[in-house]
Chains A and B, each alone.
Chain A
Amino acid sequence: MKMRTRIALITLLLVFAGCAAWAVEPRERLADPTLEARARGISGQLRCLVCQNESIDESGADLAHDIRIFVRQRLTAGDTDAQTVQSVVNRYGAFVLLRPPVEPATYVLWYGPPLLVVAALAGSLLWLRRRQTAPESETAPLNAEETSRLQRLMRETDG
Chain B
Amino acid sequence: MKRIFYLLPLALFLVLAAYFALSLRPGRDIHELPSAMIEKPAPAFELPGLGDSAPLALNALKGHPVVINFFASWCVPCRIEHPLLMRLAQQNRIPLYGIDYKDKPEDGTRLLATYGDPYRLAGMDRDGRTGLDFGVYGVPETYVIDAGGIIRKRFVGPLTAETVDQELLPLLKQLGQS
Chain A residues proximal to chain B, CB less than 8 Å = 49-50, 52, 62-63, 66-67, 70, 89-95
Q: Flag whether B176 is at the interface (Cβ < 8 A).
A: no
Question: How far is it, in angstroms, between the C-alpha of A67 and the C-alpha of B131 when the chains are bound?
Answer: 11
**A49–B132 touching, CB < 8 Å:** no
Is A95 in contact with B33, judged by CB distance below 8 angstroms? yes
Complex contact A92–B102 (CB within 8 A): no
Chain A nearest CB, measured from B77 CB (Å): 14
- Say what secondary structure dominates the interface of chain A: helix
Q: Judging by beta carbons under 8 Å apart, are B132 and A93 in contact? A: no
Which one, B55-63, B107-115, B134-142, B157-165, is touching chain A? B134-142
Complexed CA–CA distance, A50 and B137 (Å): 7
Judge whether B36 is part of the interface by a CB distance below 8 angstroms: yes
Number of interface residues of B (CB under 8 A): 16
A93 touching B137 in the complex, CB below 8 Å, given contacts A52-B31, A67-B132, A70-B132: no
Query: Besides A50-B138, A52-B31, 11 other CB < 8 A contacts?
Result: A49-B138, A62-B102, A66-B128, A90-B36, A91-B36, A91-B132, A92-B36, A93-B34, A93-B36, A93-B135, A95-B33
Interface residues of B, Cβ cutoff 8 Å to A: 31, 33-37, 102, 127-129, 132-135, 137-138
A92 to B36: give the CA distance in the assembly, Å: 5
Least Cβ–Cβ distance between A52 and chain B, in angstroms: 7
Please name the 10 residue pairs, one residue from A and one from B, whose CB atoms are nearest each other, closest first: A93-B36, A49-B137, A91-B135, A92-B135, A66-B128, A66-B132, A95-B33, A63-B137, A92-B36, A70-B132
- Flag if A91 contacts B133 (CB, 8 Å): yes
Cα(A93)–Cα(B34), bound, Å:
8
- Check B35–A93 contact: CB distance below 8 A: yes
Within the complex, what minimum Cβ distance (angstroms) separates A151 from chain B?
A: 30
With A62-B102, A66-B128, A70-B132 as contacts: A93 and B138 at CB distance below 8 Å: no
Distance between Cα atoms of A95 and B34 in the complex (Å): 9
| C-alpha spacing A25/B133, complex, angstroms | 22
Q: Which residues of B contact A67 (CB under 8 A)?
A: 132
Nearest-CB residue, chain A, relative to B40: A90
Task: Find the A residue at minimum CB distance from B43.
Answer: A91
A62 to B103, CA, bound (A): 12
Smallest beta-carbon distance A103→chain B, Å: 14
A89:B31 contact, CB within 8 angstroms: no
